[in-house]
Structure 1
């Protein structure tokens, strides 16, 4: 936001224009005489307000909203007043008002790009802002946008399979969590705790992930939907760890919650997880029943979700000798889709399923 080191009549007039006030209204706004404001308007850079009036102008600018700051900076630029360089009178510390707006818009565009697995575009949008400002230049709003950007970078890294390490989702989530903690935004901190639990699950720490999910499933900092997701993911971690019966009970509770919340995508994902849990206990008919529901009810058909659904479907088909070849064909097609969108974690999962199946059933026939 703009700050003025030393006011002249030119900066005072630019502020009046930015506030969209008449000379009389501006004088009343500042608590000075109309003749004083008229003098500023006439002499511009040839006159300087008294020190006490300089402080009044500082306060008026500081209390103005982002739109006023944007108009103020624009007015000075059009008047030919330098905003940087030797002898400057106006300095911009951190992002300007329009940059905050552009940054927010780019985060919305990043969310869309991530939902479509357009990772290159999402990465470009995020890094243009993450590399633009030094942390100390940012006020609370800038810090908030920085933390959101870092958390979204973590989502991107997670979806690409970079789960742990110095350039990973774990590192980005921890950084974003630290900033939100400093800003005292409990809901965002809890959401990052949930993301870090997902990282633990993806890196094979199933028992640790399940414990974290159980804690977050009753955490009032989270929304009801996020608590239901945590409950579902308790079941996911338990199922991966072989505790299928209890996993099914937990997942069913989450599924009912998503139904009450009218969340069709989450409801569809819950049926996908239920299908895999039933496959784990050998109940293939129920597993196929649930995976058919999942494949037929999801609203968001992103490449990521399609790969996850088809991987689960192929896994279930592979578990029955009669449908094994069908399962292999499904996984072949799914692997191609995963490779097309750079879904490295899903590719590793598909390869792991193939290896496990071939180890149990012998070499694949071609």
Structure 2
């Protein structure tokens, strides 16, 4: 989500337009005088709201939904940076194209969350192939970069991690465009996604190092920094350092609790369950996976597959529940195959192949 380091009249005007409010409506929303809003918009970057009003604007932005955030960032990205001349278009998107493009990005994010890969690709590709990037102004480049990022998310969920037409390629292209647009927060978010690709590719030590750097990166929101901390633990656990991984995950879990991020907190319980399974403590693993299963608020196919894979893995580790574990993994594999989640299928196959090669874990 968008954030503003320091509000000026420009950002305030962009927020009003993104919220689709009149000057009067925006003034009432913030609890300030209409003449204050008019002054901000007249002076633009030359005026800075008072600190208490800055906080009110922060709250208004943080409470807005994803569509408002996208319109807000799109509006700001269309303004030339200080000292940089605006790009003059010879041929390219018109105002109504920008609106339709932004709406399709919102739709693509929703269809991707449902693992409808075909429709997601259709929504994005029709914009990415419509104009060459040289014909796009800053607003168009921003939408192009956001679309390219979502293609990276799509490829990652499909399991296409490296090489041509991969998540890594899309994320790298998007990072280059966000750097050109000078949007540090988006650059850092892409770096976080690239670290995920590194981890999924099996380079756990390298991924842990990348995540560790991002846990203290001020370009990221506190939520994203907490996610990076959780994923440090994930990479460490995959590399066999389960006890230390669990302590790192607990710290991330506390951050999510402080932030009231219920779904992220639930995912942290799932990761903790796997760390305890790896450490051989099946009682703790079952405790945490039960919490994760009972508190998960998302119902996307990807999250169901990840949660059920973790549950099946834990059940398979106990001789008393191996049959249940195999049944859970079989059903989960069917779901993953139905939605084309090749990376998740590989993980499930790996768990089933390793079954029987290692001594069963006991309950502590």
Relative to the length of structure 2, the TM-score reads: 0.74
**Residue 355 (1) aligns with residue 353 (2):** yes
Counterpart of 2:326 (choices 325, 328, 347) is 328
Residue in structure 1 matched with residue 281 of structure 2 by the alignment: 283
Secondary structure of residue in 2 paired with 1:104: helix
Cα distance in 1 between the residues matched to 2:192 and 2:327 = 35
Cα displacement (A) at 1:230:
0.1
Residue in structure 1 matched with residue 106 of structure 2 by the alignment: 108
- Calculate the aligned-residue CA RMSD, in Å: 1.3
Cα distance in 2 between the residues matched to 1:251 and 1:361 = 26
Residue in structure 1 matched with residue 60 of structure 2 by the alignment: none
Counterpart of 1:303 (choices 280, 301, 304) is 301
Residue in structure 2 matched with residue 132 of structure 1 by the alignment: 130
Written as runs of structure 1 = structure 2, the 5 A alignment for 1:217-256 is 217-256=215-254
Gaps of 5+ in 2: 1-74, 76-88
Cα distance in 2 between the residues matched to 1:92 and 1:140 = 14
Cα displacement (A) at 1:335:
0.4
Cα distance in 2 between the residues matched to 1:351 and 1:336 = 12
Cα distance in 1 between the residues matched to 2:267 and 2:359 = 29
Cα displacement (A) at 1:301:
1.0
Counterpart of 1:189 (choices 187, 190, 196) is 187
Cα displacement (A) at 1:361:
6.6
**Residue 166 (1) aligns with residue 167 (2):** no
Cα distance in 1 between the residues matched to 2:118 and 2:357 = 37
Query: For residues 127-150 of structure 1, what are the alpha-carbon distances to aligned partners after superposition, in whole Å with 9 as ceiling and x for unaligned?
Result: 000000111000000000000000
Query: For residues 171-213 of structure 1, what are the alpha-carbon distances to aligned partners after superposition, in whole Å with 9 as ceiling and x for unaligned?
Result: 0000000000011000000000000000000000100000000
Written as runs of structure 1 = structure 2, the 5 A alignment for 1:43-122 is 93-122=91-120
Query: For residues 251-299 of structure 1, what are the alpha-carbon distances to aligned partners after superposition, in whole Å with 9 as ceiling and x for unaligned?
Result: 0000000011111110010000000000001000000000000011011
Relative to the length of structure 1, the TM-score reads: 0.73
Cα displacement (A) at 1:359:
2.7
Query: For residues 2-61 of structure 1, what are the alpha-carbon distances to aligned partners after superposition, in whole Å with 9 as ceiling and x for unaligned?
Result: xxxxxxxxxxxxxxxxxxxxxxxxxxxxxxxxxxxxxxxxxxxxxxxxxxxxxxxxxxxx
Secondary structure of residue in 1 paired with 2:206: helix
> Number of paired residues?
273
Cα displacement (A) at 1:92:
6.1
Larger Rg: 1
Gaps of 5+ in 1: 1-65, 67-90
Residue in structure 1 matched with residue 316 of structure 2 by the alignment: 318
